[in-house]
Structure 1
Amino acid sequence: MVEMARYAQVCIDTQLSAIDKPLIYSIPPELSGKVFIGIPVLVPLHSIFVIGYVVGMSHEADIEQERIKPIVKVLWEQPLFDDELLRLAKWVSDYYHCPLFDALRLVIPPGWQQGIEERVWIEDLDAAIAWVKSKGRRSPKQAEVLNKLINASEPVTLKELREEFGSSVRQVLKGLVDAGIVKIARSERARMPSMIKRQAAKLTDAGVEALKQDKITLPEKHRLLLERLLQAGGPVTLARLEDEGFARSTVEALAIRGLAEIVEIVVPRVGELGPEGFEVPPERIVLTDEQKEAIVGIVKSIDEGKFNVIVLHGVTASGKTEVYLRAIEHVINIGGQTIFLVPEIALTAQAAAIFRYRLGERVAILHSALSVGARFEEWMRIANDEVDVVIGPRSAVFAPVKRLRLVVVDEEQDESYKQEAAPRYNARDVSLVRAKWNNATVVLGSATPSVETYYKALTGRYKLIKLCKRIDDRPLPTVHIIDMRKASMKRSKWLSDILLDAMERKLAEGEQVILFLNRRGFAPFVMCTECGAVETCPNCAVSLTLHRDKGILLCHHCNYNAQATNVCRSCGSTTVAMRGAGTERIEQEVSMLLPMAKVLRMDRDTTQRRGSHSAILSAIRKGEANVLVGTQMVTKGLDFPNVTLVGVLNADIGLNFPDYRASERVFQLLSQVAGRAGRGKQPGEVFIQTYNPQHYAIIASATHNYDSFFKRELLQRREPPYPPFAYLIDVVASDEDERKAFEAINAAINVVRMTMLKKGEVATLLGPAPCLVPKLRGQYRFHFLLRSRSRKLLMEIMKEALELMDRNLKAKLSIDVDPMIIY
């Protein structure tokens, strides 16, 4: 007989515990056999109860028995994560220097809710009754509260008391607590979201035999229903069957005869998961020779059953999606699963529509735009091994798949794969770790791979597969560089005459246009022409952006807003001017200048409502609009055959950003947005407006020459070394007090320097300095950069330095390993 574990290592929130490691609790007899890895439990911590997650089991404990407290309660009978996801969370915690509890949040089911709840009850009933009789007249509110508690059959929540007696009830209770009459205890509550269940009909084994042997005499309608259930291969909701003409009475009649049964199933919320308006080709696509070679290479890697990384470098519209699909179909045929990562939520919807058409309903979608209930249902389908493919943005890399054979990271260079808030993980890199543990293949696909990824491919660490031609030998778009220092601008401040002329020509021919400007809002800032004052955010060291359709000035960092006005808040002058242009202004400008233009805008402002992404893309695909103005949302993954012209209104945004990736970022954006043109039968044109026409990133994107850009960029990064020749950690200290933030960054630097001296090995330490945005969300910010050619050395220095820092200092720091953008 196997001896049950007696102790559990439980991970709790480090904000509640000063100890940043799992705590040991005993498993009481009544919970024996119910506590496993991944189970959420309620445990005592000091004088309160908190929620923790079981991350280890043991028969022995290495601390004194009298210090070990028992687990109070199992909160959910099904583990929230398995051994592999726990291992992945531990890796994230170690590599990105974040608490394990925070890393575990990445792998637990979406919708798992926990919160603090305070309950109040009578500790001494006799004393309470005596107090009401003796002092009730002098303190009527205390008497009212006590009477409620005396008459309550169970502890009352503080929230309930607050609602009934007002916000001052805690002060009312204080004297009663001090007198030992009342007790208040804090605990945490937890729950899962509810799932929508529907009644469905399912074919029984007897029903299958009845159809095969053809021995049972059945009414025609009954036989048709059995055939429909056989074709479905699983349960079909009664509502759907009724829509198809099968009455409930027909289903019940078959159930009585044992040929079918009525079951309850969780029905995916299709309205959220699968948008309308995405057309998929009805016929099987004829592969190009390059696609065939790419598929052979990927399938061979999958069949080897070893960890491999393949860089699929294909020009825009070269058919990378079809290559992905064929590889995924092979994985399904051999009984494996695929995680397919996309950088944008909008691309999730498009990919899901295509994949479901080709692969059926065993495709799950995970992203934050779904309701909590929908995400939880999809997570449960994955956890129950009911799907073969998981599609989503970065968080989908933590999906609870059990048969992983392939991970595809589409547009692998995209910064969206890097999470800005802690834990600051990069989903691309996490996918490599997970695939390695599962001996799976990773395909990193892009028309513009990151410099680091392409360098690894050229140096043999990754395998390189190229798709150099577009489908059907369609030409890449012709790119025109418009020198804005000399361009004629008679009709608009923002759109050159040559671009407007080209747009008029294309629209007259019934074709479509995409205009790209990586700034949302109407104007990036407003300025008083009398005193020069600029409206700035009180919480962040940035100007406020005018959003004229909402009548507000908005901070794009903290969402602070103020009413837009034409009166200067500094001097009272009415000469307030709007400076620059954002997508909102361009949308208005195009509508005014080109009467034939039916303009839609795609940016964060127009895509906040659920389904708005899909509605915009559907309108473009159906021809209901012929001009799409947008931010970087329009630069990647979108496939509109009738778009023959792309205009880049300001290619210089970000070009002079003080970041070693600035040129790479501009090259990628320009190349990607240019790739939206000419994907159908008509050739495409691209017009790039710039004040830096000789910059190598702009020239390389205009000539579709990735290799020339890569060679030039590599030279820029050799000395001083930056990735791929070095590794970086960006450490930021922040505080509401500027002096305290500066003291914290200096204290952290001193510890890091001491650690380097102790190890006798030197990494480069740059800083301290104010961050590019020196004040953000009310916090002043200073940072330093730690750089080394050795990743191992860099990680050791950071880990040992953090171990030497006190808790208060660490609370002020944010650690960004392998930063994508330094601001």
Structure 2
Amino acid sequence: MKSASLFSTLSETLADVAQPQQRVSVLLPMPFKGPFDYLSPPDITLNPGDIVLVPLGRRQKTGVVWETSSDLPPDLAPPAEQKDRTDTSRLKEVAELLELPPLSADLRRFIDWVAAYTLTPPGMVMAMTLRLHMHGVTSAGTGWLPADTIPADLRMTPARQKVLDLLRKGLPQTTTDISAATGVSAGVVKGLADARALRAIKLEPECPVEAPDPGYRLPVLEAEQARATTALRQSVEKGGFSVTLLEGVTGSGKTEIYLEAIAACIEQGKQALILLPEIALSAQWTERFIRRFGVAPAIWHSDTGQRMRRLTWHATANGNASVVVGARSALFLPFEKLGLIVIDEEHETLYKQEEGVIYNARDMAIVRARLVQCPTVLVSATPSLETLVNVQSGRYRHLMLPSRHGGATMPETRIIDMRVHPPERGRFISPALTEELSATLARQEQAMLFLNRRGYAPLTLCRACGHRMECPHCTAWLVEHRARKRLCCHYCEYFEPVPVTCPACHEENTLTSIGPGIERITEEAHELFPDARILVMASDTLTSPTAITEAVTRISNREIDLIIGTQVVAKGWHFPYLTLVGIVDADLGLSGGDLRAGERTFQLLHQVAGRAGRASAPGRVLLQSYTPEHPVMSALLSGSQDRFMAQEAMQRQPGFWPPYGRLAALIISCEDAAKADAVANAFGRMAPYGEGIQVLGPTPAPVAVLRNRHRRRLLLRTKRTIALQPILHRWLDMVKPDRNVRIDIDIDPVSFL
């Protein structure tokens, strides 16, 4: 019997030794083509989604156990690579399994999908989930409680007694908390732990937000609002994937309606994600959320501190954050049970990320919703043509709010023909607009002047020789910022003091400012209305959410008479005492060859105009224009948005321009202009061709030099039925540029600079 027992034990031991280690693929947040293979530690079983620490060269890197998605559409899947997976002799071992929530299967599929669609290394997409928040992305740490049995030989001191007395209250605390509460050093806590007088307790991260109450303050909804609310709530309660366009005139209560969809999501025990085009909107939006639900949501954007990012990341991953509102990067948070995505101001081009991973957060949000199988709501007063075409084709449902909430009426719109009513010499505000501003301020109502141009003047030139002040690193004029006494490039970080002499002809005091920026309009307004309390709202004056909140509070408390702003003022603000909006240069944005110039200008000016008359007092909008006959001006004057968008569609459809075709831009850049030209010409010679396929270029980009890199562009255009990605894969394989030549791929470009 003893011999049999010994044999059994030996067999089990040999079986353990012979058992092969698990081979796992680990995706690293780096620009590699795909995951690397490693071996799991002998005593740990790893599963897809686990976050691990692995050796890479002489360093250790955080990565995620991966498996290639099998459900990528064939037109997105990159060409397969042959890989020998039988030889494990050279594989390194995973160093550590981190105590972090694993990335869910739907999030991993989403990362693979975005990478394949945008032709980006998957690790760089995955980095948006992990890399920015990796430092300290661990559990909250270790807490301490007294051991079940205190060692009899423990040497007791007053300091140790303080620690034990504190912890006997039953609440585990970290070493830092214990030191703060008792005044003892961390060494005292460590000594107790080493003596086995304390037992370690793993602490979960604290939740940065309280749970919102869907029944806290129910809204009073009018008939049209109630119907839209019912439809959205039903979508959430039913579940499954759907896309709904919530379109409504400015001031119609769109936010209040989709807040009820969020309430339905909370009632279902699921999480909601709300995307806003920029941080500036979060302050007033958060106030509305608090009024409805009693607490603030979790907030995610670039100005959020590192500690709050870690806590929000964890709260999202474990489901404690019911509602997250954020900028486009919030789309890559690890939601545990995502039940609703809302994209506010869906038409905004700010949803397009132009550097790094180039993607459109609006479009990718719909992809994530499809993978998770949850409803999506697109919200806008001026929907994009792409969205409207999807509505017409039946892909999206359409809910419409044609009138303002609470009896408020749409503002009256007038165009001031600047050819007939020009401003005084040296000024940019016409007498007709000045008169309306004076009357508005006399009634103690608020007014707004809008000009979508930062700084004092967009161009500085020499009256003697005609020299124009240009950025030495970019093909761009230097913009004067008089308040800071600088000439600045708005494409890179370059600036220089305003010179006294012309750098070309060396004449003194010959440099002059050409054209108006917002600072110049502010200067003019101070001269015209010396007693008015003026506030400037621009991205370089409102530099933080706190500054934005203070500005909104001052406007709401009627401490401001005249607001002067750039596009920041167009984004969903509700200023009840604002009755007049004057648009200084309504023609700005219509020039150039941008495909969407007319659509964007209409959307921007319509949104700005929508700030007027949102309460009981009627609103007025005055547009200064040198081309009042332009279709955009006609549409704004008549309010015929549908007719204008139909005309835009008719112009794009014959040439299969988006949304009736597909576009991809290749941007070749290099510090050496000749190399950039050579590579661009090589791509031009190898350009794909065929029925429904066209390549435009190569040509210098409109901003031909950016940060000292010469830029050349090619534009691939195909019919809607032809996928871009396989064509691009083959095309890119035909040209092998030098390392110092960079190729950027922009699928579905919205900017052509």
TM-score range, shorter chain: 0.7 to 0.9
Stretches of structure 1 lacking an aligned partner (at least 5 in a row): 114-190, 200-236, 238-262, 275-281
CA distance in 2, matches of 1:421, 1:507: 43
Alignment equivalent of 1:85, drawn from 107, 119, 140: 107
**Shift of residue 479, structure 1, vs aligned partner:** 0.7
| Aligned residue number for residue 778 of structure 1 | 708
| Residues 348-427 of structure 1 aligned to structure 2 (within 5 Å) | 348-361=282-295, 363-427=297-361
CA distance in 2, matches of 1:492, 1:505: 23
Provide the secondary structure at the position in 2 that maps to 1:266: coil
**Shift of residue 703, structure 1, vs aligned partner:** 2.2
Which residue identity is paired with 1:89? I
| Aligned residue number for residue 26 of structure 1 | 39
Find out whether 1:699 has 2:634 as its counterpart: yes
CA distance in 1, matches of 2:728, 2:389: 26
| Residues 132-147 of structure 1 aligned to structure 2 (within 5 Å) | none
| Aligned residue number for residue 578 of structure 1 | 513
Which residue identity is paired with 1:472? G
Find out whether 1:104 has 2:126 as its counterpart: yes
Contact 1:520 1:583 in 2 (8 A): yes
Q: Could you list the per-position Cα deviations for residues 389-441 of structure 1 after superposition, in whole angstroms to 9, with x for gaps in the alignment?
A: 11112112222222222211111000011101121111111111111122211
**Shift of residue 13, structure 1, vs aligned partner:** 5.7
Provide the secondary structure at the position in 1 that maps to 2:658: coil
Alignment equivalent of 1:336, drawn from 270, 279, 287: 270
Which residue identity is paired with 1:295? T
The Cα RMSD (Å) is: 2.9
CA distance in 2, matches of 1:591, 1:612: 22
**Shift of residue 350, structure 1, vs aligned partner:** 1.8
CA distance in 2, matches of 1:283, 1:361: 11
Higher mean C-alpha deviation, range 806-815 or range 450-459: 806-815
CA distance in 1, matches of 2:672, 2:464: 33
CA distance in 2, matches of 1:805, 1:86: 31
Contact 2:280 2:545 in 1 (8 A): no
CA distance in 2, matches of 1:385, 1:109: 21
| Aligned residue number for residue 216 of structure 1 | none
Find out whether 1:266 has 2:206 as its counterpart: yes
- The 1:519/1:374 distance shift into structure 2, 3 A limit, reads same
CA distance in 2, matches of 1:48, 1:265: 28
| Residues 584-623 of structure 1 aligned to structure 2 (within 5 Å) | 584-609=519-544, 611-623=546-558
- The 1:194/1:580 distance shift into structure 2, 3 A limit, reads farther
**Shift of residue 743, structure 1, vs aligned partner:** 1.3
Alignment equivalent of 1:789, drawn from 690, 697, 719: 719
- The 1:57/1:703 distance shift into structure 2, 3 A limit, reads closer
Provide the secondary structure at the position in 1 that maps to 2:353: coil
Which residue identity is paired with 1:303? E
CA distance in 2, matches of 1:38, 1:600: 50
Find out whether 1:668 has 2:690 as its counterpart: no
Q: State the number of aligned residues.
A: 663
Higher mean C-alpha deviation, range 372-381 or range 686-695: 372-381
Provide the secondary structure at the position in 2 that maps to 1:373: helix
Which residue identity is paired with 2:87? Q
Q: Could you list the per-position Cα deviations for residues 76-128 of structure 1 after superposition, in whole angstroms to 9, with x for gaps in the alignment?
A: 32146332222111111100111111101122264324xxxxxxxxxxxxxxx
Contact 1:362 1:387 in 2 (8 A): no
CA distance in 2, matches of 1:593, 1:283: 45
CA distance in 2, matches of 1:720, 1:66: 54
| Aligned residue number for residue 69 of structure 1 | 91
| Aligned residue number for residue 645 of structure 2 | 710
Contact 1:25 1:68 in 2 (8 A): no
Which residue identity is paired with 1:56? E
Provide the secondary structure at the position in 2 that maps to 1:41: strand
Which residue identity is paired with 2:605? L
**Shift of residue 35, structure 1, vs aligned partner:** 6.6
**Shift of residue 29, structure 1, vs aligned partner:** 1.8
Q: Could you list the per-position Cα deviations for residues 25-74 of structure 1 after superposition, in whole angstroms to 9, with x for gaps in the alignment?
A: 112325x23675241423234x665554332399xx94352553213522
Identity over the aligned pairs, expressed in percent?
Answer: 36
Contact 2:252 2:402 in 1 (8 A): yes
- The 1:417/1:769 distance shift into structure 2, 3 A limit, reads same
CA distance in 1, matches of 2:698, 2:657: 18
- The 1:811/1:337 distance shift into structure 2, 3 A limit, reads farther
- The 1:196/1:5 distance shift into structure 2, 3 A limit, reads closer
| Residues 160-175 of structure 1 aligned to structure 2 (within 5 Å) | none
Contact 2:100 2:138 in 1 (8 A): no
Find out whether 1:817 has 2:747 as its counterpart: yes
- The 1:198/1:703 distance shift into structure 2, 3 A limit, reads farther
Which residue identity is paired with 2:127? R
Contact 1:27 1:35 in 2 (8 A): no
Q: Could you list the per-position Cα deviations for residues 260-311 of structure 1 after superposition, in whole angstroms to 9, with x for gaps in the alignment?
A: xxx99737499xxx9xxxxxxx975421211111112222222332311111
CA distance in 1, matches of 2:268, 2:541: 42
CA distance in 1, matches of 2:477, 2:284: 35
Find out whether 1:684 has 2:706 as its counterpart: no
Higher mean C-alpha deviation, range 447-456 or range 718-727: 718-727
CA distance in 2, matches of 1:4, 1:301: 49
| Aligned residue number for residue 661 of structure 2 | 726
| Aligned residue number for residue 184 of structure 1 | none
Find out whether 1:53 has 2:75 as its counterpart: no
**Shift of residue 192, structure 1, vs aligned partner:** 3.6
- The 1:449/1:762 distance shift into structure 2, 3 A limit, reads closer
- The 1:526/1:38 distance shift into structure 2, 3 A limit, reads farther
Which residue identity is paired with 2:106? E
Find out whether 1:10 has 2:33 as its counterpart: no
Contact 1:8 1:57 in 2 (8 A): no
Find out whether 1:531 has 2:465 as its counterpart: yes
Which residue identity is paired with 2:745? I
Output the TM-score relative to the length of structure 2: 0.83
Provide the secondary structure at the position in 2 that maps to 1:405: strand
**Shift of residue 362, structure 1, vs aligned partner:** 6.9
| Residues 649-668 of structure 1 aligned to structure 2 (within 5 Å) | 649-668=584-603
| Residues 792-811 of structure 1 aligned to structure 2 (within 5 Å) | 792-806=722-736, 808=738
| Residues 728-767 of structure 1 aligned to structure 2 (within 5 Å) | 728-753=663-688, 756=689, 763-767=693-697
**Shift of residue 695, structure 1, vs aligned partner:** 0.7
**Shift of residue 791, structure 1, vs aligned partner:** 5.2
Output the TM-score relative to the length of structure 1: 0.76
Provide the secondary structure at the position in 2 that maps to 1:297: helix
CA distance in 1, matches of 2:310, 2:131: 6
Contact 1:491 1:497 in 2 (8 A): no
Which residue identity is paired with 1:266? E
Contact 1:435 1:442 in 2 (8 A): yes
**Shift of residue 599, structure 1, vs aligned partner:** 0.9
- The 1:804/1:810 distance shift into structure 2, 3 A limit, reads farther
Contact 2:101 2:317 in 1 (8 A): no
